[in-house]
């Protein structure tokens, strides 16, 4: 199956598409399809979504790994009598290494998956530090968060090394001392890591924010010079130049944020809302406000949180605590 054919089939399999601005604004009868345990998903609490180089979708849950080809879901679970099976049922996140290998962060360690023979290789540090979240891939190394500490993993030598830099110590400090995050997902970790790399002078400000709120997602918009922070207490923006000048955009509990052109998608406890950004002449440069009423509000499923919103090849995917919606 070619990557193009899979993408076309995926788009027509699912109802929710990222369409043109006017159509998106006017369309009120929006519907969508979910992939859940009834579709073959190993478990409903979806932690991560990834699309590999062949076009297949991978979903990590609290109970195993799942591969979706546009029609069916194939699950991979731990087999205690098989050393080449996946080790660790709780999947934190997934990242592609090359056209053959996936790296998978789990509660029990780092796993390499060979797509050619569907075998797994398990890596950890002396069986002491196991809970692995992959922050990002940098050249021939993976940057990992393991039990609140930063490590690198040499992809060629397949060896771990402790990262001891100013940035790593700052990030570790944030995790150990701050409230920081609803689920400590790799997306939040990666965004904070990238922010500290790009704006090291703001570490003190970030630490203050994380000590005041349970932060679920962070987004930096360089065009407007704003940091968007969604928390359990509200959606805030901070100006990169005047960081102390905070603006509450919306009250409420927000779990994730995605910005696309002039729209913002916000994930809440039981729904995803789309807001149109409106520019106003404020005293602070780059400050924006949203329409008071969302242009689109879609209830996903009652009593289950929207954990992450991702856009992959024009399709918007939502990770929830009961299914995948798209």
Residue-by-residue pLDDT tens, the chain, 326 positions = 555 444 434 433 332 333 333 333 343 444 556 777 888 788 777 778 888 888 888 988 888 899 988 888 999 988 888 877 887 778 888 999 888 899 999 888 899 999 898 888 888 887 667 788 888 888 889 999 888 889 999 999 989 999 999 888 888 887 777 655 544 566 778 888 888 888 888 888 877 777 788 888 888 888 878 888 888 888 888 888 777 667 788 888 887 787 776 677 777 765 667 666 655 444 333 334 444 444 444 433 333 333 444 544 444 444 444 444 44
Predicted TM-score of the model (pTM): 0.72
What pLDDT score was predicted for residue 270?
A: 59
DSSP tag of 125: B
Confirm if 132 and 105 have CB atoms less than 8 A apart: yes
Tokens of 175: 């995790």
What pLDDT score was predicted for residue 136?
A: 87
CA 289 vs CA 51, 159, 194, 296: distances in Å: 33, 47, 25, 16
- Whole-number Å distance between alpha carbons of 92 and 56: 18
Q: Which of 147, 145, 185 is nearest to 167 (CA)?
A: 145
Q: Which H or E element spans position 199?
A: none
What pLDDT score was predicted for residue 161?
A: 92
CB-CB neighbours of 93 under 10 Å: 23
What pLDDT score was predicted for residue 102?
A: 92
Cα 30 from chain centroid? 24
Tokens of 56: 């297949």
Confirm if 281 and 230 have CB atoms less than 8 A apart: no
Beta strands in 43-200 (DSSP E): 46-51, 57-61, 64-68, 73-76, 91-96, 101-106, 109-114, 119-123, 132-138, 141-146, 149-154, 159-162
What pLDDT score was predicted for residue 33?
A: 65
What pLDDT score was predicted for residue 159?
A: 92
- Whole-number Å distance between alpha carbons of 16 and 203: 38
Confirm if 270 and 302 have CB atoms less than 8 A apart: yes
What pLDDT score was predicted for residue 35?
A: 75
């Amino acid at each position: 199956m070619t990557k193009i054919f899979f993408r076309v089939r995926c788009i027509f399999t699912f109802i929710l598409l990222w369409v043109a601005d006017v159509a998106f604004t006017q369309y009120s009868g929006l519907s969508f399809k979910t992939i859940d345990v009834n579709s073959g998903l190993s478990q409903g609490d979806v932690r991560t979504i990834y699309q590999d180089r062949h076009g297949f979708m991978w979903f990590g849950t609290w109970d195993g790994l799942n591969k979706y080809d546009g029609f069916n879901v194939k699950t991979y679970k731990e087999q205690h009598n098989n050393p080449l099976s996946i080790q660790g049922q709780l999947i934190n996140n997934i990242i592609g290494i090359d056209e053959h290998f996936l790296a998978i962060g789990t509660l029990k360690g780092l796993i390499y998956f060979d797509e050619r023979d569907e075998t797994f290789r398990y890596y950890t540090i002396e069986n002491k530090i196991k809970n692995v979240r992959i922050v990002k891939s940098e050249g021939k190394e993976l940057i990992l968060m393991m039990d609140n500490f930063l490590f690198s993993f040499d992809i060629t030598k397949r060896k771990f090394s402790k990262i001891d830099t100013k940035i790593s110590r700052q990030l570790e400090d944030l995790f150990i001392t701050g409230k920081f995050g609803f689920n400590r997902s790799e997306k939040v970790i990666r965004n904070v890591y990238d922010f500290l790399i790009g704006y090291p002078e703001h570490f003190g400000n970030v630490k203050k924010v994380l000590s005041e709120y349970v932060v679920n997602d962070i987004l930096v918009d360089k065009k407007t010079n704003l940091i968007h922070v969604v928390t359990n207490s509200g959606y805030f923006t901070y100006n990169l130049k005047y960081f102390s000048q905070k603006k509450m955009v919306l009250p409420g509990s927000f779990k994730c944020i995605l910005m696309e052109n002039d729209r913002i998608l916000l994930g809440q406890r039981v729904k995803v809302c789309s807001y149109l950004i409106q520019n106003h002449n404020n005293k602070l440069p780059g400050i924006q406000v949203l329409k008071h009423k969302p242009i689109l509000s879609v209830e996903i499923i009652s009593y289950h949180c929207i954990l992450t919103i991702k856009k992959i090849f024009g399709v918007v995917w939502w990770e929830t605590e009961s299914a995948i919606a798209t």
